[in-house]
Amino acid sequence: MPIYEYRCSACGFQKEFLRKISDAPLTTCPECGKDSLNKLLTAAGFQLKGSGWYASDFKGSPAKPETKPDSANTPAAGCGGGCACATGNG
């Protein structure tokens, strides 16, 4: 559910409310009781980037490089890896 920010034009009361998109906008101020509560226009809390990641995700931290397996632990040529030689026991 989105968070909407409202402010009363009569008394200046301002607060964020968690509301469903289908809910009608609030109009009555919970502080003074007048019908002068207006929804404010605010910026979204996230930004989308072209690659599909959020601007705040992993910002400033480099990605880990992929490591290749050690050649000493790989099975011998022609071995399918299902025998004892693949574990070094044979």
Helices (H), the chain: none
Ranges of each domain in the chain: 3-39
DSSP character at residue 15 = E
Please give the pLDDT value at position 74.
Answer: 56
**pLDDT tens digits, one per residue of 1-35:** 788 999 999 999 999 999 998 999 999 999 999 99
Position 60 pLDDT exceeds 70: no
Please give the pLDDT value at position 46.
Answer: 65
CA distance 13 to 66: 53
Per the model's pLDDT, the better-predicted residue between 40 and 42 turns out to be: 40
Please give the pLDDT value at position 38.
Answer: 95
